[in-house]
Structure 1
Amino acid sequence: MKNICKHITLSWIALVGSCCIAQTASLNGKVTDNGEPLPLASVFLKGTKIGTATDIDGLYELNNIQSGEYLLLVTSLGYRPYQTKINIGAGVNKTVNIKLQPSAQNLKETVVTGTLKPVSRLESPVPVEVYSPTFLKKNPTASVFDALQNVNGVRPQINCNVCNTGDIHINGLEGPYTLVLIDGMPIVSGLGTVYGLTGIPNSLIEQIEIVKGPASSLYGSEAVGGLINIITKNALSAPEFFADGFATGWGEYNLDVGSKLKIGRKTDLLLGVNYFNYDIPVDNNGDNFTDLTLQDRISIFQKWNFERSDNRLFSLAGRFFYEDRWGGEMQWTPEFRGGDKVYGESIYTRRWEVLGKYQLPLEEKLLLSFSYNDHSQNSVYGDTEYLADQRIGFAQLTWDKTVANHDLLFGSAVRYNFYDDNTPATTEADNIWIPSLFAQDEFSFAPKHSFLAGLRYDYDQRHGNILTPRAAYKWKISHNDIFRVNAGTGFRVVNLFTEDHAALTGSREVIVAEELKPERSINVNINYLKKIYSDNGTFIGLDASAFYTRFSNVILPDYETNPNQIIYDNLDGKSVSQGISANLDVAFPSSFKIMVGATWQDVSNTENGVTQQQILTESITATWNLSYTFRSLNLTADYTGNLYGPMRLPLLGELDPRREYSPTWSIQNIQFTYKGLNNFEVYGGIKNLLDWTPNRGNPFIIARANDPFDKEVTFDNNGNAVATPNNPYALTFDPAYVYGPNQGIRGFFGLRYTVF
């Protein structure tokens, strides 16, 4: 299977051919923005079912139009809607070219994450950041997990030097504080967090919405620090067919293929397949361990849209995911799996998901949402076996009601959590039902002022009643100036062994000091948006925020009290995340665009009067994207990058010679995209231009890489490693000292083919 898929990927990149059957049309034309073709603009005739989307060259065709007078409507995210009356004569082939004007920014985009209902981003009382597939293409990656490295205040954190699993940090908070949604459904959690952001074809993503700050009042546990909502395309906006394949100089191969199919008169099917393969062990840092985990992954995604009367919603989606990944000593092969002769970390993951939305056939707006996922993981970390199963079911009914100046939302949800593994800490499987009730009211008490209040009630049989209120105030100073204040609370129920890879690797013993209480948080966020349009057509956008979050009952892994243990306990004190963040967007008429973001943050834990920076949390971060299109050449250049400030790292003791703090480091990339061929894009470039890897300035990254089973380590009566001639630093094997990717500079080349 692996070789067949790899050859398909290589064949796609080397030789792409397609035969397109031209179709005659009664109405055609081109949609542009300042002379540039505008793809994926919606073009339709009002009052009919005749419509389409523009292709990659901005072209559209409408077929089989009866003679008469029509209203032609053209819309696109970030642009003012265009409409004009046209007369179509029988047998006439009419051409209408359209120029769209930018709207009051991409603030006009529709977002759903902040309030659980579709609203204009401009009108949302909750700040929501929106990222489109165009943003993802500026630095093409094999997964959404990797793509988020260029989002300000968001950092993909690799948690292990060997198996390279990871999570997403928002404003410095660890991955378990981030809730990942797909189409608004919380089906990604705990054991499956990293896999929920892997294997979704980027071409099937409509947009990614990010909320920074607690959202537990709407989404429950885990939405303590923020959430990421991946919204997939519907049949109207999806291309008829697409294929996107790329390869890198390290031997990575990625292929996305998808299509839109019409099943009968009232059903549309969206199908996508993602395949990724990397199977060439590389050890550039010379520690006899793989620098990059080898992976063989396939993901199949389907989304069904059913046409109903009165435009009521009914959609059903499903995804199957399978991955075989391993990392370890260069001599490792599958026959060493689970043994103590050659160290390797091997993970087999099988996961399937189903989710749907159904609007009830009533006059009131009642929406039933549901999801279910099954995640099975068969892993070995050296000679330690970790077998785990997790199942999450979710159902939610919401009632959206407007009364006078009140925009109301009422809802009831129930969540089913099942988790079991073979670790001593899990003496019996978790089998929990969590029912919930929530309500929110957005009240417009003045033309430019609105206030939102919300309250959620959850009952967890382990922890009893949990209330999470929130409030938001929005002042729309003008069409281009918005001021928001948000305050809320969050809670998180913890299962350690689905979330902390360090608890499963190395030689450390896991100690749970007491019965753990749920974590609670209180957050305040102030946000200001400013849009400036100059007379010469230059656009400037500023989005600035200040945030403060205080946690109680924080559960922290203590790596330092005993270097051979990881001790989990509720913090007897406080944990604070505070900082400021700003994004600046500038677009010049010349097609030169600048996106720059920066965040300063202070994430600390205070216990017994002592305050320390949280481990693996950067103090500053910056991201940028500089883009310029050479119109005469149909060529676009994108220069992207990020920068991370010092973070405290987990050392194994006072003799550990590795740096206690990381340096300031940066990953930078450049890409060139050629669009001079019909339906094709050719792209290529270089990733990690500076060839930066975390072994710079360190004697080693993985502790005791030469003795991963600690066979030559001497311990004292308390179980602590003792300094000896062959272990002068008194270390044990530990791969958790990781803060950046080990993958150095590499080139990449790819092809995209799209038919709308």
Structure 2
Amino acid sequence: MLKYYALFLVLLFAFSATAQDTLQSVQIKTNSNSTKKSYRKVTNTATMTSKELLKAACCNLAESFETNPSIDVNFSDALTGTKQIKMLGLTSPYLMITEENIPSVRGASQAYGLSFTPGTWVESIQITKGAGSVVNGYESISGQINTELLKPADDIPFFLNAYGSTDSRFELNTHFNRKISDKWSSSLFVHGNTRVEKMDKNDDGFMDNPLAKQINVLNRWQYTNAEKGWVSFINFRYMNDEKQTGQMDFDINRDKGTINFWGSEINTERFDISTKIGYVFPGMPYQSIGFQNAFTSHKQDSYFGLNEYQITQKSYYSNLIFNSIINNTMNKFAAGLNFAYDDYNEYLAVPSISGNYDRIDNSVGAFLEYTYDNIDDFSVVAGLRVDNHNRLGVFATPRIHMRYNPWERAVLRASAGRGKRSANIFAENQQLFASSRVFDILNTKGKIYGLNAEIAWNYGLSFMQGFDLFGKTADVTLDFYRTDFQNQAIVDLYASPQEALFYNGKSFANSFQLEFNIELMKHFDLRTAYKYYDVETEYISGSAERPLQAKHRYFANLAYATHIDDKGHQWKFDFTYNWLGKQRLPNTATNPVSDRLPDYSPSFSLMNVQVTRTFSSSFELYAGAENLGNYQQDKAILGADNPFGTNFDTSIIYAPVFGQMFYAGLRFKIK
């Protein structure tokens, strides 16, 4: 039924787009920054615009952060090619990831959810360090990533993006937009990708990347009545994603469920409906009310060799927000109510653990956030929310953000806040299923898999100074953040290479970042950053570094664009360099010598490059390379010669597996 609905909409939009009159447009040329930071915003937020997202292929949201110094991008395992992001030294489950301020990647979708949003759908991304706003919930600990999608009222009639790469990955994105009336607009986004060839560049007998195919359809409707103060969005979305990985000789029809050859399938089907309704009171632009609602059905069926994992999550989210002022616009407040419901049906069959882990989580909360906004020098946002959760009980979430401008082009920020969340230990650690590890949960008295809720405090300071250097615009930023976990769901890979232990404990993460940006010459920008992480956890064996986390990282991005001539021709060149210091590796000391790894990985460098040729405002070609230096991890899979033996492990990944990859694509627009 959904397939026929999508086909009907494609035909309708295609006909409508061709029937519209071609209008003359005026192009305003600017040299705006592709990543924007504000001296007046209270939170430490950087906004990645669509211009920044075009610096790399950005096939999906997980790959959109390659050119951003605040986000670290790593591979999660040696099989699926899935990219994992970290911020402030913590993995993505500790980030609140939202789509237009509605929680999106959480629960069952934690492992692969970032790959379910195509990059071409994204209008901008806001990255906020530290505790987020209480308006968006209580789960944010290290920060928030909010994605804004293209708006139907502002979108162009047609967009096409085609992409292909040397790892046999091909993608096609089409956007259709139609103005139904002066108040109604609608967009249809259709995305498809596939990987069609088995490749084994490191000769370990396993595919370096999965065979895959995905269909992803989003239909957005926007209603705007500026005269009466109404604006609303309605979204319908369907996605089906299939991955197959494992040994090169694995055949699904012949070898599934046997020990002939090791193989895996991860099949996900997802359906989303969301609505947003906003009303601005007549004659009072400072007073508004908003109502958000979202329903999600997420189903994953998967197996990893002889291990099985199935999870279905049905969720409902609702948020009512009222914004107004107290006496004047320097004193603002937001108040509201929030309701969340999650129904999990989860089945797991791995060594030592087998059975159903079904549960229902629901919570209702109320929040109040006060803002004192003196745009000249000082602002503060103080918020408090109280939630009643059926498993976590009644608890309060306080958060505060402050901004001070001591002098021109300078801003000092400070923040502190508390976060609390239920750790979905299986969904968040699926890379461990592709191993022979025995799972064991040591705590059994808690209410989530026998564990207690995770509770953490985050504190941060940030200073940014803008200045002119040799007549060129430059800025420098220093950030320091600390996250203290009063209680964390610890994943212990130090106890034994044949075990994965889960238990509650304490940990901390210190993050320091020094960032320097300068416009070297007109249209030629340099962005650099040094990052230091000190992340330690109290394991059973004692306090130790968190594995697979480099203490030292260096980032640089060079971006150059030529002048746009009268015919609309332009060249754009982007180069990104990442250096990662040594990383502590999980314990493999008791393995046979052939399946042991050193205590630390070697340091290494990665280089990405992209060249874009614009022929007009409607057409451009791009080509690039990832991992230009062809660096590959040595011994990416332990026990590859005996995948059903006790030493098999594909999860200890600190560097790329595939090596050098080249790609090319085109973008075409009808304006």
Give the TM-score, by structure 2 length: 0.88
Q: In structure 2, what is the equivalent of residue 352 of structure 1?
A: 271
Q: In structure 2, what is the equivalent of residue 727 of structure 1?
A: none
Structure 2 unaligned blocks of 5 or more: 1-16
Q: In structure 2, what is the equivalent of residue 59 of structure 1?
A: none
Q: In structure 2, what is the equivalent of residue 755 of structure 1?
A: 670
Letter of the structure 1 residue corresponding to residue 653 of structure 2? V
Please point out which of 538, 547, 552 is paired with 1:615.
547
Distance 1:413 1:180, change over 3 A: same
Q: In structure 1, what is the equivalent of residue 629 of structure 2?
A: 690
Please point out which of 254, 257, 267 is paired with 2:171.
254
Q: In structure 2, what is the equivalent of residue 313 of structure 1?
A: 231
Q: In structure 1, what is the equivalent of residue 660 of structure 2?
A: 745
1:338-394 Cα distance to aligned partner (Å, 9 max, x none): 332211111111011122211257564111011111110110111222221012210
Helix, strand or coil at the partner of 1:235: coil
1:138 matched to 2:70? The reply is no
Are 1:674 and 1:683, in contact at CA under 8 Å, matched by a contact in 2? yes
Are 1:651 and 1:737, in contact at CA under 8 Å, matched by a contact in 2? no
Distance across 2 between alignment mates of 1:610 and 1:19: 67
- Number of residue pairs the alignment of both structures matches: 630
- Written as runs of structure 1 = structure 2, the 5 A alignment for 1:166-245 is 166-215=83-132, 217-245=134-162
Distance 1:183 1:19, change over 3 A: closer
1:649-702 Cα distance to aligned partner (Å, 9 max, x none): 22333445322212222221222111134511111122211001111xxxx221
1:584 matched to 2:516? The reply is yes
Distance 1:156 1:339, change over 3 A: farther
Are 1:476 and 1:482, in contact at CA under 8 Å, matched by a contact in 2? yes
Helix, strand or coil at the partner of 1:347: strand
Q: In structure 1, what is the equivalent of residue 202 of structure 2?
A: 285
Q: In structure 2, what is the equivalent of residue 605 of structure 1?
A: 537
Helix, strand or coil at the partner of 2:367: strand
1:734 matched to 2:653? The reply is no
Q: Report the CA distance between 1:229 and its aligned residue.
A: 0.9
1:163 matched to 2:88? The reply is no
Helix, strand or coil at the partner of 1:210: strand
Q: In structure 2, what is the equivalent of residue 44 of structure 1?
A: none
Q: Report the CA distance between 1:450 and its aligned residue.
A: 2.0
Q: Report the CA distance between 1:426 and its aligned residue.
A: 5.8
- Written as runs of structure 1 = structure 2, the 5 A alignment for 1:485-564 is 485-514=414-443, 515=446, 516-533=451-468, 536=471, 538-564=472-498
Are 1:125 and 1:484, in contact at CA under 8 Å, matched by a contact in 2? yes
Are 1:235 and 1:305, in contact at CA under 8 Å, matched by a contact in 2? yes
- Written as runs of structure 1 = structure 2, the 5 A alignment for 1:370-385 is 370-385=293-308
Larger radius of gyration: 1
Q: In structure 2, what is the equivalent of residue 412 of structure 1?
A: 337
Structure 1 unaligned blocks of 5 or more: 1-17, 35-76, 80-104, 108-120, 711-730
Letter of the structure 1 residue corresponding to residue 507 of structure 2? S
Q: In structure 2, what is the equivalent of residue 33 of structure 1?
A: 30
Give the TM-score, by structure 1 length: 0.79
Q: Report the CA distance between 1:608 and its aligned residue.
A: 7.5
Are 2:156 and 2:670, in contact at CA under 8 Å, matched by a contact in 1? yes
Distance across 2 between alignment mates of 1:460 and 1:224: 18
Q: In structure 1, what is the equivalent of residue 14 of structure 2?
A: none
Are 1:187 and 1:372, in contact at CA under 8 Å, matched by a contact in 2? no
Distance 1:19 1:307, change over 3 A: closer
Distance 1:753 1:445, change over 3 A: closer
Distance across 1 between alignment mates of 2:77 and 2:398: 36
- Written as runs of structure 1 = structure 2, the 5 A alignment for 1:378-527 is 378-403=301-326, 404=328, 405-423=330-348, 424=353, 427-444=356-373, 447-478=376-407, 480-514=409-443, 515=446, 516-527=451-462
Helix, strand or coil at the partner of 1:134: helix
Helix, strand or coil at the partner of 2:188: strand
Q: In structure 2, what is the equivalent of residue 596 of structure 1?
A: 528
Distance across 2 between alignment mates of 1:609 and 1:158: 27
Q: Report the CA distance between 1:266 and its aligned residue.
A: 2.1
1:647 matched to 2:583? The reply is yes
Distance 1:208 1:645, change over 3 A: same
Are 2:611 and 2:622, in contact at CA under 8 Å, matched by a contact in 1? yes
Q: Report the CA distance between 1:427 and its aligned residue.
A: 4.0
1:676 matched to 2:642? The reply is no
Q: Report the CA distance between 1:168 and its aligned residue.
A: 2.1
Distance across 1 between alignment mates of 2:487 and 2:403: 31
Distance across 1 between alignment mates of 2:23 and 2:84: 50
Distance across 2 between alignment mates of 1:227 and 1:383: 37
1:16-68 Cα distance to aligned partner (Å, 9 max, x none): xx99998465xx6442237xxxxxxxxxxxxxxxxxxxxxxxxxxxxxxxxxx
Q: Which deviates further from its counterpart, 619-628 or 632-641?
A: 632-641
Q: Report the CA distance between 1:445 and its aligned residue.
A: 6.9
Q: Report the CA distance between 1:150 and its aligned residue.
A: 2.8
Distance 1:459 1:216, change over 3 A: farther
Distance across 2 between alignment mates of 1:255 and 1:191: 26
Q: Which deviates further from its counterpart, 358-367 or 733-742?
A: 358-367
Distance across 2 between alignment mates of 1:337 and 1:529: 55
Helix, strand or coil at the partner of 2:615: strand
Helix, strand or coil at the partner of 2:65: helix
Q: In structure 1, what is the equivalent of residue 556 of structure 2?
A: 624
Q: Report the CA distance between 1:158 and its aligned residue.
A: 2.5
Q: In structure 1, what is the equivalent of residue 186 of structure 2?
A: 269
Helix, strand or coil at the partner of 1:496: coil
Letter of the structure 2 residue corresponding to residue 211 of structure 1? T
Q: Report the CA distance between 1:163 and its aligned residue.
A: 2.8
1:5-26 Cα distance to aligned partner (Å, 9 max, x none): xxxxxxxxxxxxx99998465x
Distance across 2 between alignment mates of 1:303 and 1:500: 33
Distance 1:496 1:425, change over 3 A: farther
Are 2:531 and 2:554, in contact at CA under 8 Å, matched by a contact in 1? yes
Helix, strand or coil at the partner of 2:63: helix
Are 2:111 and 2:427, in contact at CA under 8 Å, matched by a contact in 1? no
1:334 matched to 2:252? The reply is yes
Distance 1:264 1:565, change over 3 A: same
Distance 1:381 1:453, change over 3 A: same
Q: Which deviates further from its counterpart, 271-280 or 670-679?
A: 670-679
Distance across 1 between alignment mates of 2:561 and 2:201: 36
Distance 1:665 1:446, change over 3 A: closer
Q: Report the CA distance between 1:198 and its aligned residue.
A: 2.1
Helix, strand or coil at the partner of 1:469: strand
1:61-97 Cα distance to aligned partner (Å, 9 max, x none): xxxxxxxxxxxxxxxx769xxxxxxxxxxxxxxxxxx
Letter of the structure 1 residue corresponding to residue 245 of structure 2? G
Distance across 2 between alignment mates of 1:446 and 1:19: 47
Distance 1:593 1:303, change over 3 A: same
- Written as runs of structure 1 = structure 2, the 5 A alignment for 1:51-130 is 106-107=36-37, 121-130=38-47
Q: In structure 2, what is the equivalent of residue 365 of structure 1?
A: 288
Are 2:493 and 2:500, in contact at CA under 8 Å, matched by a contact in 1? yes
Are 1:398 and 1:411, in contact at CA under 8 Å, matched by a contact in 2? yes
1:145-204 Cα distance to aligned partner (Å, 9 max, x none): 022233223223332212334532112112321221111100321221244322433233
